[in-house]
Structure 1
């Protein structure tokens, strides 16, 4: 028979999350999204899946491609690329590289990330793919793998182009992947406050780095069509949140709206660990096995981001066929755990056998069969 167990975790969640209700949020941003980094939970969305011009926030993908090459060993920080006339002539934000010079990947990354240099971005793109157009094809391949909605890159800088677009959701997924996959490079570059090249000192354009609120990245953007945008990430007490805002009409707007979203996310949501990886969730009954039960375990750490007002209606449902017939192999999937609560996406987690349970021998199976006939199912 199928057995379903529903457990109440109300007391645990109240203690972990607190009792203040999460409030609704409004923002002046045309597009916005907030994600919890640890769990990937979307905490807030506004036009987050609609196509928008990303401006210089495009350079997050340019950096992602370079970081992947570095991590794979196909590229080193000491490698140099020659500055083309196209890169040197490019307008907008500049690192101020000189045409014909050879510049190291490390310096180009600083010029692109700290100074938002369009010239540095093009030098990197041409150095990797031979041309900026070819590099854009690589960017689009990565965007598809990262499941970035409404995304098509035409260049490495975010220079205005009617076909160059992404979405706030796409950027937040990109930012999460960049931090998760390249933590050393993220820490090395994105909180750097200033960089000097060619005798010109420029300051990081991310204003939240100087507000002592846990922000350690990522990237600003602006064009006339895009408005002012900012993809930001902040860490507090082991928890990280990522925000994207775009379409603001002034620089202070992107700074203040990002700050408000970050503070709201940390205040109104908490992360709760239901089970650690390998922890036993339940002991399931075994039929004709060498032992009467088998531990059901989760291979992954089960952490959830919850609003406070979800605590009194959380349900955790464990479903499996009981009793489970032996033999059972360790690692074999035996059950599912389903977590449901208002305002969050339902999650279903596979549970697996924590150990091997051999089948009883012939005599043992006969005895168990007789007991079943006499006493019924356990």
Structure 2
């Protein structure tokens, strides 16, 4: 059989070594926990793998989870230099705190000038509906214009089942999202706007001599390392929470929507986060630049080229299973000089229990120049004979 038509196993020296010193037996993963909420999802932030979910694609009212999108847009605008923390925003009548008598607010007043930094904290920590309107108008001119930006950003990052009508999340006819879409947004905030995400772990914020506490009570839970994100509640939506926590090298994102109380949304979120950390782990068996093997090259100044990958290989697997990971590769064709560095020449497959769980481009880690006329002629003869067999 032609060597290049099938998968070529890596040499023993290139086989994936254990990345965990654990000698425990295979972890048996129980069924996912039952969660007292309309919808929930648990996602590995690094890999995006869903570890548990129920009704995660059901359309639901997001309430103040909406502010995650408002915050993400603010974070992007700050990162891109379109606005700055010290910009002063004049508060309009639309953003006046008196317009939100029975909902969360920052207590801002018409005509006052307030910094972007303060309004941003008023949104993230105090969940101020008034602050949302002020920043929406500052960025887009009108709240309707800001809602259009929200929907464009949602489409851009893959929130295919979300539609926003306002910047704060008070109940509206078409204003809907899903737990799955919220997990996408949470990952985007953490990954793309880390400075914005850092605000979510702050436990309180004082403005105009009024101190308000972050409603995410898991920030005070010493049994786990929760550092975000956002609560939400209206009579239509129920009680919701997007939370994120880390343990060792793993970050998980939990979304619980439609719980029956503030206590329940916190306890149910903690339940699924603990489930994820107990039974799964995030590993990175090969780092960018890792060399897998050297491979024969025809017609080159040298006879071999180094093969490897140019990206990390993060995986979410059952805890304790890293010792069972293996790797193989297959070439897309025979390698002939000239070859440039970074040229894709095949695929690397990572397997667990004999099944492919991930694949990455196999690339050349060095260049190989074309050999002399004599070398090319000699290789032509050798290659022709080799192909006969």
TM-score band, normalised by the shorter chain?
over 0.9
Partner of 2:5: 2
* Conserved 8 A contact 2:57-2:179: yes
Partner of 1:141: 152
Partner of 1:166: 177
Partner of 1:241: 252
Q: Say whether residues 1:206 and 2:216 are aligned partners.
A: yes
Whole-Å separation in 2 of the counterparts to 1:58 and 1:375: 64
Which is worse superposed, 63-72 or 363-372?
A: 363-372
Offset at residue 306 of structure 1 (A):
0.4
Which is worse superposed, 326-335 or 82-91?
A: 82-91
* Conserved 8 A contact 1:21-1:309: no
Q: Deviations over 1:292-348 (max 9, x none)?
A: 221112111111110148668755341114531221111111011233548x99432
* Conserved 8 A contact 1:230-1:254: yes
* Conserved 8 A contact 1:22-1:309: no
Q: Say whether residues 1:24 and 2:31 are aligned partners.
A: yes
Q: Deviations over 1:74-107 (max 9, x none)?
A: 1011111122222221241111111221111111
* Partner of residue 240 from structure 2, selected from 229, 237, 243: 229
Q: Say whether residues 1:196 and 2:199 are aligned partners.
A: no
Whole-Å separation in 2 of the counterparts to 1:360 and 1:84: 73
Unaligned runs of 5+ in 1: none
Offset at residue 43 of structure 1 (A):
1.4
Which is worse superposed, 344-353 or 65-74?
A: 344-353
* Partner of residue 86 from structure 2, selected from 75, 78, 84: 78
Which is worse superposed, 4-13 or 245-254?
A: 4-13
Unaligned runs of 5+ in 2: none
* Conserved 8 A contact 2:16-2:327: no
Q: Say whether residues 1:366 and 2:377 are aligned partners.
A: yes
Whole-Å separation in 2 of the counterparts to 1:322 and 1:3: 10
* Conserved 8 A contact 1:17-1:269: no
Partner of 1:348: 359
What SS does the corresponding residue of 1:50 show, helix, strand or coil?
coil
Q: How big is the alpha-carbon RMSD for the aligned residues of Structure 1 and Structure 2?
A: 2.4
Offset at residue 272 of structure 1 (A):
1.8
* Conserved 8 A contact 1:151-1:167: yes
Distance 1:70 1:10, change over 3 A: closer
Offset at residue 214 of structure 1 (A):
0.5
Whole-Å separation in 1 of the counterparts to 2:140 and 2:216: 28
Which is worse superposed, 77-86 or 168-177?
A: 77-86
In the superposition, the TM-score normalised over structure 2's length comes to: 0.90
* Conserved 8 A contact 2:129-2:168: yes
Partner of 2:18: 12
Partner of 2:113: 102
Whole-Å separation in 2 of the counterparts to 1:17 and 1:85: 64
Whole-Å separation in 2 of the counterparts to 1:223 and 1:345: 44
Q: Say whether residues 1:36 and 2:47 are aligned partners.
A: no
* Partner of residue 114 from structure 1, selected from 93, 106, 125: 125
* Conserved 8 A contact 2:283-2:322: no
* Conserved 8 A contact 1:285-1:294: yes
Whole-Å separation in 1 of the counterparts to 2:83 and 2:48: 30
Whole-Å separation in 2 of the counterparts to 1:181 and 1:108: 20
Distance 1:375 1:210, change over 3 A: closer
Distance 1:37 1:268, change over 3 A: same
What SS does the corresponding residue of 2:183 show, helix, strand or coil?
helix
Distance 1:236 1:17, change over 3 A: farther
* Conserved 8 A contact 2:27-2:320: yes
Distance 1:375 1:174, change over 3 A: closer
* Conserved 8 A contact 1:284-1:322: no
In the superposition, the TM-score normalised over structure 1's length comes to: 0.92
What SS does the corresponding residue of 2:94 show, helix, strand or coil?
helix
